[in-house]
């Protein structure tokens, strides 16, 4: 079969590698609009510094996915323990929350949250993200953290988001299934655990997270697959309602018996009105190490801060920065109409001031700033997103996969799991947030 895979992210690369490794006599062509593989798992090597697109790392409880990760990495990985934080009430606090970090919150926040355990709002019908959060965490934590963080991250109010936004994002934020954060009571129980859960991650032993994708590419090429970079697809070519190829923006047509589409679904179906969040990634090299930045990544909920998350590469692997130096990966979400997206330099001074205010940088310690526009990073689950998705008629021979292709707020291990299932012809449960 002539198989075209649109997008060289984890989903597309795993599909190609597994199809070819299965011995199938397929002609595989991967089309990638960027100049490098990885999609949202790309890395940037700048003047001796390694930067990822946020805190990428591998973690899974799926044995098949775990085996695939280790087979591709072939021993070229390190195992690291998790250390993540949330910045609340002016201080860095461990995430998942601990007794020590919670007891440091202002008394008024603690007292009102405790009262919410016994007096949560009565919401008979959960209609949106705000209802979901308020019914589980109470009004106090919703108003204190979730409401503002959500508005800053998505650009819309919590009342305009589907409940799936909470189910897909909130409980998964703790990474480990053994720790629950799906209600205020779950958080309290977690605080009282006699021993914190220690989560281990895989991370490549050289370069950034893209090293994994580079290894996949090497296998694909060795097995006869073709990867074309700087190649953008305009649309599908159909014959009698079935896929017969893809048309590139330069007008060329590549024949195909089937197409796996892991690029943004909005490129194929703009009329649906589905939207993505863009992320402005700001890679900052620092001349000296900032000891306060002892977390791997940290969430910042305060609306006055321009960024929503910071990542510290040296806490994934020390040699991601030159000896004695440091770095930050700053994530700022926005839409494509925002002035900061069009001209990032306009926010430079505000960004520096905000980073200083949380102690992430000191004085004039910046060696350089590297701006990266990363489009379509998160699907936005508006109240009507399911209706918009259901309006799509998928032609024979087209398969929508991955975060962007399936409009699916997932993690890297889920994209790999989905690809492995597709190749085996097995059913795959996309609503993984309902796992028990």
- Quick: pLDDT tens for 352-381: 999 999 999 988 899 999 999 999 999 999
Q: What is the pLDDT of residue 100?
A: 58
Assigned CATH for 2-39+62-79+207-274+383-434: 3.50.50.60
Mean pLDDT of 188-200: 59
Q: Does pLDDT of 245 surpass 50?
A: yes
Of the listed ranges 31-45, 176-190, 196-210, 350-364, the one predicted with least confidence: 176-190
* Per-residue pLDDT tens over the stretch 86-109: 898 888 988 765 555 566 677 777
Q: How far is residue 366's CA from residue 286's CA, in Å, rounded to a whole number? A: 5
Comparing 141-145, 274-278, 366-370, the range with the smallest average pLDDT is 141-145
Q: How far apart are CA 120 and CA 332, in angstroms?
A: 32
Positions of CATH 3.90.660.10 in the chain: 276-379
The mean-pLDDT minimum among 78-92, 336-350, 377-391 falls in: 78-92
Percent of the residues in the chain that have a pLDDT greater than 70, as a whole number: 88
- State the Cα–Cα distance between residues 251 and 248, nearest whole angstrom: 5
3-state class of 70 per DSSP? helix
Contacts from 93-101 at CB under 8 Å and sequence distance 24+? 95/173, 95/174, 95/298, 95/299, 96/174, 96/179, 96/181, 96/187, 96/190, 96/196, 96/197, 97/187, 97/190, 97/191, 98/191, 98/196, 99/191, 99/192
Task: List where CATH 3.50.50.60 sits in the chain.
Answer: 2-39+62-79+207-274+383-434
pLDDT at 139: 86
In the three-class reduction of DSSP (H, G, I as helix; E, B as strand; rest coil), residue 15 is classed as helix
CATH of domain 276-379: 3.90.660.10
Question: 118-132 burial, b if ≥16 CB within 10 A, otherwise e?
Answer: eebeeeeeeebbbbb
């Amino acid at each position: 079969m002539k198989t075209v895979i649109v997008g060289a992210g984890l989903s597309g690369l795993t599909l190609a590698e597994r199809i070819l490794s299965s011995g199938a006599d397929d002609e595989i062509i991967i089309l990638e609009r960027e100049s490098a593989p990885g999609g949202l798992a790309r890395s940037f090597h700048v003047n001796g510094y390694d930067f990822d697109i946020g805190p990428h790392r591998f973690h899974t409880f799926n044995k098949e996915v775990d085996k695939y990760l280790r087979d591709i990495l072939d021993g070229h990985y390190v195992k690291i323990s998790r250390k993540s934080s949330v910045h609340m009430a002016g201080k860095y606090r461990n995430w998942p929350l601990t007794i020590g970090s919670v007891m440091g919150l202002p008394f008024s926040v603690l007292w009102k949250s405790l009262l919410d355990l016994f007096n949560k709002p009565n919401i008979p019908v959960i209609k949106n993200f705000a209802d979901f959060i308020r019914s589980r965490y109470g009004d106090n934590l919703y108003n204190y953290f979730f409401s503002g963080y959500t508005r800053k991250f998505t650009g819309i109010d919590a009342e305009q988001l589907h409940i799936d936004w909470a189910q897909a994002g909130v409980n998964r934020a703790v990474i480990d299934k053994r720790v629950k954060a799906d209600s205020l009571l779950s958080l309290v129980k977690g605080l009282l655990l006699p021993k914190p859960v220690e989560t281990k991650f895989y991370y490549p032993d050289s370069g950034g997270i893209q090293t994994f994708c580079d290894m996949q590419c090497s296998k694909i090429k060795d097995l006869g697959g073709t990867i074309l970079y700087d190649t953008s697809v305009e649309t599908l070519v159909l014959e009698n309602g079935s896929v017969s190829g893809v048309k590139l923006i330069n007008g060329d047509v590549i024949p195909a018996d089937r197409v796996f589409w892991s690029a943004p679904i909005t490129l194929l179906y703009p009329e649906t009105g589905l939207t993505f969040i863009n992320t402005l990634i700001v890679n900052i090299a620092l001349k000296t190490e900032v000891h306060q930045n002892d977390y791997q990544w940290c969430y910042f909920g305060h609306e006055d801060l321009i960024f929503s998350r910071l990542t510290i590469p040296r806490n994934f692997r020390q040699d991601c920065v030159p000896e004695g130096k440091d770095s930050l990966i700053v994530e700022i979400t926005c839409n494509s109409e925002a002035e900061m997206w069009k001209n990032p330099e306009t926010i430079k001074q505000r960004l520096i001031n905000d980073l200083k205010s949380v102690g992430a940088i000191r004085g004039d310690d910046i060696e350089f700033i590297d701006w990266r526009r990363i489009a379509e990073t998160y699907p936005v689950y508006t109240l009507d997103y399911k209706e918009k998705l259901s309006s799509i008629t998928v032609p024979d021979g087209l398969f929508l996969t991955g975060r962007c292709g399936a409009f699916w707020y997932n993690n890297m291990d889920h994209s790999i799991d989905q690809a492995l299932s597709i190749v085996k012809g097995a059913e795959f449960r996309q609503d993984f947030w309902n796992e028990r």
